[in-house]
Structure 1
Amino acid sequence: MRRSITTRLVLMFAAAALATFALIGAALQGVLARELERHQHDELATTLKGLQYWIQTIGTPERWTRVQARMDALTPEDGSLRFWVLSDDPRFQYGKGLAEIDGLVREADGHGSNVMLPGQDRPFRTLSVRIPPFESRPAVRLVVGRNSEPYARTRETFLTALVALGLGAMLVVAFAGYWIARVGLRPLQQLSQEAQALRPKTLSQRLQAEALPVELSALAEAFNGALARLEQAYAQLEAFNADVAHELRTPLANLIGGTQVALSRPRAAPELQEVLASNLEDLERLRSIVNDMLFLARADRGEVATGLMLTPVAEEVRKTIEFFEFVLDETGGQVRVEGDLTAQAQLERALFRRALSNLLQNAIEHSGPGTVVTVTLREEADGTWIRVSNPGAPIGDDHLPHLFDRFYRVDEARRGQGEHHGHGLGLAIVKAVAAMHGGRVGAASADGINTFGFSVSAGMATRED
């Protein structure tokens, strides 16, 4: 069962309060016990010294009766304070159970001990002193004992009060902690309510982070950032669905229209062959779109390039350019390779050629006849870069970050003399191939030259000596 934050805070407040009060109570109990023991010792020492001074001046059995009368007067009725005088001469003895006391009390002068007397629930705290002989009186040992019962009851009463006060204080802290937690977490509850009010149609809304405490404002800002990314992804998904529908609608409409026209009346075999050839072109276009979308879906799931081989990059570039010789002959264009021609990289050749083919096709289609397209190879800190540059109309800075998005086109900025036959996924595939090789993509437009490129990871790239 999950507990709320309020419950956890209350329990932590209560546990902290209980631990604090327990430590304070233990310290106070120790201080009280030491003070009571000191008080008991001081009381016994005072009584012992008074009797000692008086006994020292008594040296005959006749005067000893005064000592006995004095100790009888000092002994309370409840027997909480008792006196014993131990002596070899029975005439100078005093107290009950002298034999037991003589066997129990062995401490040096001024040092006390606890003596458990018969019939008592608590021990007696005792002090004793040896009094030297005087006249006819031999040496005697005076013992003063105080029952520890009152002191023990005081400690027990104090401990009971401490426990009761500690538990009461813990309850007070728990209730106060509950109120503090509720008040302190109120901004979090408001934040949760705002988040629950968000709907797919209201993704443009943001949480109000300005009025929140510092600890929650960072969370709200992070959540707002996630909302912004979600809104962008949602908008891209909607645009993607619309673009897919648009891209598929045209060849499907051509297929349906051409087939309906062909079936509207009897046709000769050559006419039907022409219709089938036209339908085949549209079907191949559909297959190309579907294959590209499946490839991008695999890339989105985190698929990486396999079968990597250490390959000279310039050699793969030249082999890829050979596929465009027929197109270049028709347009009178050229492709020139520059830069680090000895660079090598770990590549999956098929993917690399596919990405470079898309860049070359993009450059040739958006360049005029006789244009020179440049492929530049560079070893940089973040990897090996392959950039394809061609003359063309400038591209706005606001478009550059989105050129590798799916179905993103800037027709007004990329209009060339040739017809653009792509379906808006070529540069997105370049981005996916770069990601599969641990690299990045980039685009630039300056001084009438448009450049598109991708890289492979620096960790995968090497260079020949």
Structure 2
Amino acid sequence: MKRSITVRLVAMFAVAALVIFSLIGAALYGVLKRELARHQQDELTTRIQDMQYMIGRAGDTERWSHVQAKLDTLTPADGSVRYWILSDDPRFQYGKDLADIDRIERNPNGIGTMVLRHREYPLHTLSKTIAPYLARPPIRLIVAVDAAPYIHTMRAFVIALVSLSLSGVLLVMLLGYWIARVGLRPLKQLSNEAQAIGPRTLSQRLHISPLPAELSDLTVAFNGALERMEGAYHQLEAFNADVAHELRTPLANLIGATQVALSRQRSAAQFEEVLQSNLEELERLRSIINDMLFLARADQGEPATSLTRTAIAQEIDKTIEFFEFVLDDAKMTVRIGGDVAAEASIETALFRRAMSNLLHNAIQHSHAGAEILVNITQQPNLIRVAVSNPGQAIAAHHLQRLFDRFYRVDPARNDQHQDQNQYHGHGLGLAIVKAIANMHGGSVFADSADGVTTIGFCIPLAQAGAGGNKQWGNETEN
């Protein structure tokens, strides 16, 4: 079951309103209770003070009869106000239910509560001791008022408070629902816009201007994700098209050569020649597939693991040895320059593969007799390996895409080596260089100016450790 933000907001509004109303109600209940108690205490105090003066001057039975008459007058018929006078002398006593007076609960200041058998509600009392006067002994005057009005008032208040609180909570829920719907309307519109985006409308972006500030950042981030997804989608489309194109050519060559070979009777030597040609195409297919599998593993974040602290120039020199015959045929030379003593922790097999692709690319796009420079630069946190070769300049908009898979600049740049199939790659060499740099935590770069093209990569410089002290010269020719 999906959890609705609107329902959650309404529930939170209701809980907050209930808590607030409860706190306010408790505070009002306490205030009202204290005020009613004070009011009753003031009434009791006033009545005792009114009678205290008269009783204090009644020192004989004649005057006492006036006191009793006065008390009879002040006692209402419903018994809401009662008077009792307790004395050791029965002549100076007053009131009904004197036997129940001893059960009165009182505190030291004379305030108490009395429960009579024939009354539903208790009485609140206040007692006062009056000193003896003439023939009258000391007496105890008790005034009581009925607690029923007090209890009824508190009960009515609680009922009204609970009813109003529940009504207020319900009203808050309704208003909260409306507020939540109105407040979340931009989010709903945003969701509808997002749902309208599909593979055919990847260029569409969410509108930011009508949205509140809280959703603007989310929308900007979502639009950024759409932009990156659009780029990745177009790149994937181009990659799929390039893969199909690259695989189609050798497959077409294999099918065509096989069909021609089977079109008529041929000798064993002729079939051997066809098989040799097919083998070359199959080797090319295997190379493409292996490179694609390697790039797929690199895309999944596979790091370089078998790191060894190695002299960078030494590994470059070993890579150059594999191109010795190619360089001799093209009358080219390769020179290693820069910080030739620099060392780093690398996976040597991957490093040589990246250098091999860079050297192959430089040889492929250089004229006969050219000198290729491999420059090593050691910086505080990384080592920079750059391969420079003379040749036709590359436009800036091409430089940004040199490391894309199957991307090629103008084929005319291949010069005289364009017709030499053994030198012509399939467009994954520099992409593999970028993948290897990423596997080492580094990056790639490319530059072309003044007739010199420089392509290379950077790898983080490992912490200082043991390493060879072999010194390299500034030039190595093959």
Q: Would you say same fold, with TM above 0.5?
A: yes
Tell me, in whole angstroms, the C-alpha distance in 1 between the residues paired with 2:113 and 2:335. Answer: 108
1:43 aligns to 2:49 (yes or no): no
Q: Structure 1 residues 85 and 226, CA, compared in 2 at 3 Å: closer, same or farther?
A: same
How many angstroms does 1:421 deviate by? 0.6
Query: Is 1:343–1:462's contact at 8 Å kept on the other side of the alignment?
Result: no
How many angstroms does 1:226 deviate by? 1.3
SS of the residue corresponding to residue 265 of structure 1 reads: coil
Tell me, in whole angstroms, the C-alpha distance in 1 between the residues paired with 2:181 and 2:91. Answer: 80
Instruction: Give the TM-score taking structure 1 as reference length.
Output: 0.94
Which residue number in structure 2 is paired with residue 145 of structure 1?
144
Question: Could you tell me which amino acid in structure 1 is paired with residue 433 of structure 2?
Answer: V
Which residue number in structure 2 is paired with residue 307 of structure 1?
306
Query: Is 1:384–1:461's contact at 8 Å kept on the other side of the alignment?
Result: no
Q: Which runs of 5+ in 1 are unaligned?
A: none
Mapping of 1:83-122 within 5 angstroms?
83-102=83-102, 104=104, 107-108=107-108, 110-122=109-121
Q: After superposition, what is the alpha-carbon deviation per residue over 1:35-75, rounded to whole angstroms, capped at 9, x for unaligned?
A: 11111111111111111122111111111111112112212
Question: Could you tell me which amino acid in structure 1 is paired with residue 459 of structure 2?
Answer: V
Q: Which runs of 4+ in 1 moved over 6 A?
A: none
Query: Is 2:417–2:424's contact at 8 Å kept on the other side of the alignment?
Result: no
Which residue number in structure 2 is paired with residue 329 of structure 1?
328
Which residue number in structure 1 is paired with residue 430 of structure 2?
427
1:440 aligns to 2:443 (yes or no): yes
More deviation, 413-422/304-313 = 413-422
Instruction: Give the TM-score taking structure 2 as reference length.
Output: 0.92
1:454 aligns to 2:457 (yes or no): yes
Query: Is 1:393–1:413's contact at 8 Å kept on the other side of the alignment?
Result: no
SS of the residue corresponding to residue 227 of structure 2 reads: helix
Question: Could you tell me which amino acid in structure 2 is paired with residue 453 of structure 1?
Answer: G
Mapping of 1:21-170 within 5 angstroms?
21-102=21-102, 104=104, 107-108=107-108, 110-170=109-169
Tell me, in whole angstroms, the C-alpha distance in 2 between the residues paired with 1:399 and 1:176. Answer: 60
Tell me, in whole angstroms, the C-alpha distance in 2 between the residues paired with 1:155 and 1:81. Answer: 20
Tell me, in whole angstroms, the C-alpha distance in 2 between the residues paired with 1:381 and 1:113. Answer: 90
CA RMSD in angstroms, aligned pairs only: 2.0
Tell me, in whole angstroms, the C-alpha distance in 1 between the residues paired with 2:339 and 2:74. Answer: 114
Q: After superposition, what is the alpha-carbon deviation per residue over 1:418-448, rounded to whole angstroms, capped at 9, x for unaligned?
A: 2261111111111111121122222222333
How many angstroms does 1:138 deviate by? 1.5
Which residue number in structure 2 is paired with residue 189 of structure 1?
188
Mapping of 1:211-250 within 5 angstroms?
211-250=210-249
Q: Which runs of 5+ in 2 are unaligned?
A: 468-478
Q: After superposition, what is the alpha-carbon deviation per residue over 1:101-141, rounded to whole angstroms, capped at 9, x for unaligned?
A: 24535644x54123333344433222122211111112212
More deviation, 415-424/132-141 = 415-424
More deviation, 443-452/51-60 = 443-452
Q: After superposition, what is the alpha-carbon deviation per residue over 1:278-301, rounded to whole angstroms, capped at 9, x for unaligned?
A: 111111111100110111111122
Query: Is 2:254–2:281's contact at 8 Å kept on the other side of the alignment?
Result: yes
SS of the residue corresponding to residue 455 of structure 2 reads: strand
How many angstroms does 1:358 deviate by? 0.6
More deviation, 69-78/376-385 = 376-385
Q: Structure 1 residues 2 and 209, CA, compared in 2 at 3 Å: closer, same or farther?
A: same
SS of the residue corresponding to residue 417 of structure 2 reads: coil
Q: After superposition, what is the alpha-carbon deviation per residue over 1:320-347, rounded to whole angstroms, capped at 9, x for unaligned?
A: 1111111111222222222332322222
Query: Is 2:406–2:428's contact at 8 Å kept on the other side of the alignment?
Result: yes
Query: Is 1:131–1:140's contact at 8 Å kept on the other side of the alignment?
Result: yes
More deviation, 89-98/148-157 = 89-98
How many angstroms does 1:273 deviate by? 2.3
Mapping of 1:354-433 within 5 angstroms?
354-411=353-410, 414-419=413-418, 421-433=424-436
Question: Could you tell me which amino acid in structure 2 is paired with residue 131 of structure 1?
Answer: I
Q: After superposition, what is the alpha-carbon deviation per residue over 1:238-288, rounded to whole angstroms, capped at 9, x for unaligned?
A: 111110111111111111122222222222333222222211111111110
Query: Is 1:395–1:414's contact at 8 Å kept on the other side of the alignment?
Result: no
More deviation, 422-431/1-10 = 1-10
How many angstroms does 1:388 deviate by? 1.5
Count residues in correspondence: 463
